[in-house]
Amino acid sequence: MADLAAVFNIVSRASALALELYKFATTAPNAVNNINKLTRSISSFASTVKQVGAIIREDDSLPSHEAIEVLNNVLQQCNSLLTEVQFIFPLESSHSDSESKSKDVDYRNTSQDFRLSFIATARLDYVTAHLDCLKSTLSVLIQTMHTAQSVIWAMTRPTISPQQAARAVANEKMQLETLVIEQQTSILSASTLYAPTRPDARLLMEVDSSQSLISTQGANSILNPADLFRYQVRFVEGLDALYTTENDWLLAICGESKTHFEHLLDRWTRLRQLQERIDDEERMVELQRRESLQPTVESDVEDGVVAGNNNARLTTPTPGRTAAGGMQPLFTETTTFPIPVPDSNLGPTTSFSPASLDDGTSPGSSGNLLSSVMAAGYSAVSPRSSISSLPAEAAAAIEAKENDDEVNLEIPWRICTRQHYWDFVDNKLVKKNTHHPPPTPVSDRNGSTEILASWVCKEAITEAGFKYTKAQRDRPEGGRRTKYETLFVIQQSLSFHQVQ
């Protein structure tokens, strides 16, 4: 885990130094250009470090161990650069240093005559370029996190189309590749500015050269391009920046940039582990869903089911022979009666159970059952507009609605995706297993809608033009008993208006 205290300490130190340099520049007209250029780099670096800290503070599960090492190394190099800057300029923040205290120099009186030697000017140019390289490296690190977040977001966002998700990920990758190219060119450019400094070289010169404040021996560590090589693309490492042109740089960098940023996604983030975790969760959810839903195959024309012994469960009436010896016709799709499920009613006046068969009533021995079912369930009008053709619960709700407009139908239904579900009663959301909003027919075509068979008949679904499958869902009913509910799974997300 990253040390956030170290991150924000660098932000504080760099910001304070930048402010002090700007104030010093007002009293050092001979060095104002060099100071302003350096100060802008320091301030920009501080802002970038602050962004990294904010990202890690928000979610520290995404950066890998290597990314944290990169961040720590960049912060260490920045600390060395800031210390070197404080050695070069006679700032008040440098007075606390023991070496500075030993100097008998009035910095406020000599700032008007402050001048940088040629060596000090060249060194400041390199320090500025080195700092820009560190900032570019952090920018690549930030964009790598953003790209990984977009990939995760595309996998877990149920209400966005795959095309939109793919475009979002592609945009983040393009930005990452662009920043990689900028980072690599800045490292090569900094290499051309570096010139080894003699150990006894004086970095700060005033009008009286005898009062030069520091030599390079005073700096604890002098950074050089070798400290940046660990962030270079492997193929670019072989280029000699002094003897190649920027066109040569771009040819080499652009040829490897795409491969390099893919490596960064793998090395600087935990994207692969997070993807595997999401896939495991999806498989678990799908397994639980398959266990809770037991789909059954239903053809457009239902064949008769032969009645078994007294313990057999009757699902649909079987055809019987007429008195004349001819075959009684099968039930057609226009015969609308509720699909029998345990403990459910077929209609307000018709009782249909295996017990009635034991009492002597059977499809093969009498036509009374067929005629009663046909009379109770058949209607020449549309199944969606005829109350008599609806299941018992739906018919009772509509009848109550007709008697009192203020009464709600209270239709229970569910919208499902691969991972999530949203339970509704009428147009009110009553239960869900995610914080995401429910999908709509426009936003997500991979969703499905579940409606209990006690509230809708298959003829009404077919008439509305929807594809469906018939399934069963278990519902605990006290103790170890389980009740199975028959339902229809419509292969798209519906609105309450469509369900109604």
Amino acid code (one letter) for 462: T
Q: How many CB atoms lie within 10 A of CB 477?
A: 12
Quickly state the pLDDT bin for 141 (edges 50, 70, 90). Answer: very high
- 401-428 residues labelled b (16+ CB within 10 A) or e (exposed): eeeeeeeebebbbbbbbebbbbbbeeee
The segment with the largest mean pLDDT, out of 96-105, 165-174, 242-251, 290-299, is 165-174
pLDDT at 129 over 50: yes
Least confident range from 144-158, 170-184, 211-225, 357-371: namely 357-371
Of residues 390 and 287, which shows the higher confidence score? 287
- pLDDT at site 238: 67
Give the integer Cα–Cα distance in Å for 326 and 362.
17
Q: Which of 305, 323, 302 has the alpha carbon at shortest distance from 365?
A: 323
Looking at the predicted structure, is the pLDDT value of residue 343 above 60? no
Average pLDDT over residues 291-302: 57
- For 168, counting Cβ atoms within 10 Å of its Cβ (0-12 exposed, 13-18 middle, 19+ buried), the class is middle
pLDDT in tens, 192-216: 888 665 444 444 444 444 344 444 4
- Mean of per-residue pLDDT scores for the chain: 73
Range in 18-32, 48-62, 365-379 the model is least confident about: 365-379
Do 32 and 25 contact (CB within 8 A), yes or no? yes
Q: What local confidence, expressed as pLDDT, does residue 431 receive?
A: 87
177 touches 257 (CB < 8 A): yes
Average of per-residue pLDDT across 40-59: 93
Say what the pLDDT of residue 487 is: 86
Per-residue pLDDT of 437-457, as tens digits, reads 777 665 556 788 988 888 888
Dihedral sign computed on CA atoms, order 150, 153, 159, 161: positive
Q: CB of 233 within 8 A of CB of 253?
A: yes
What does the pLDDT read at residue 248? 86
What are the structural domain ranges in the chain?
Answer: 4-284, 386-499
CB atoms within 10 A of CB 301: 8
pLDDT for 80 beyond 90: yes
Per-residue pLDDT reduced to its tens digit, 237-260: 667 777 778 888 888 888 888 888
343 Rama class: left (phi>0) / alpha (psi -120 to 50) / beta: left
Side chain identity at 40, as an amino acid letter? R
The shares of helix, strand and coil residues in the chain, as percent rounded to the nearest 5, are: 55, 10, 35
Residue (of 291, 309, 405) closest to 362 by Cα position? 309
Nearest to 463 by CA among 346, 376, 385: 385
What whole-number distance in Å separates Cα of residue 417 and Cα of residue 448?
Answer: 7
**Residue 410 region, left (φ>0) first, then alpha (ψ -120 to 50), else beta?**
left
Whole-angstrom distance, CA of residue 389 vs CA of residue 383: 6
Over 80: is that where the pLDDT of 377 sits?
Answer: no
261: tokens are 């940023």
306: left (phi over 0), alpha (psi -120 to 50) or beta: beta
Using only the alpha carbons of the chain, give its radius of gyration.
Answer: 39
Residue with tokens 């459910």: 344
Number of Cβ atoms within 10 Å of the Cβ of 230: 11
Check residues 324 and 127 and name the one with the higher pLDDT: 127
Interval 298-330: pLDDT, tens = 544 444 444 444 444 444 444 444 434 444 443
pLDDT digits (tens, 9 = 90+) for 392-415: 566 666 666 666 666 567 888 888
Give 458 or 310, the one with higher predicted confidence. 458
The DSSP symbol for 450 reads: E
User: What's the rounded Cα separation, in Å, for the pair 103 and 92?
Assistant: 13
Position 128 confidence tier, pLDDT thresholds 50, 70, 90? very high
SS3 label, residue 104: coil
Query: What's the pLDDT score for residue 469?
Result: 86
Residue 11 has pLDDT above 90, yes or no: yes
Whether the pLDDT of residue 16 is over 90: the answer is: yes
Percentage of the chain beyond pLDDT 90 is: 23
For the chain, the three-class secondary structure string (H helix, E strand, C coil) is CCCHHHHHHHHHHHHHHHHHHHHHHCCCHHHHHHHHHHHHHHHHHHHHHHHHHHHHHHCCCCECHHHHHHHHHHHHHHHHHHHHHHHHCCCHHHCCCHHHHCCCCCHHHHHHHCEECHHHHHHHHHHHHHHHHHHHHHHHHHHHHHHHHHHHHHHHCCCCCHHHHHHHHHHHHHHHHHHHHHHHHHHHHHHHHCCCCCCCCECEECCCHHHCCCEHHHCCCCCCHHHCHHHCCHHHHHCCHHHCCHHHHHHHHHHHHHHHHHHHHHHHECHHHHHHHHHHHHHHHHHHHHHHECCECCCCCCCCCCCCCCCCCCCCCCCCECCCCCECCCCCCCCCCCCCCCCCCCCCCCCCCHHHHHCCCCCCCCCHHHHHHHHHHCCCCCCCCCHHHCCHHHHHHHHHHHHCCCCCCCCEEEEECCCCEEEEECCEEEEECCCCCCCCCCCCCCCEEEEECCCCCHHHHHHCCCCEEEEEEEEECCCCCEEEEEEEEECCCCCHHHHC
pLDDT greater than 80 at residue 8: yes
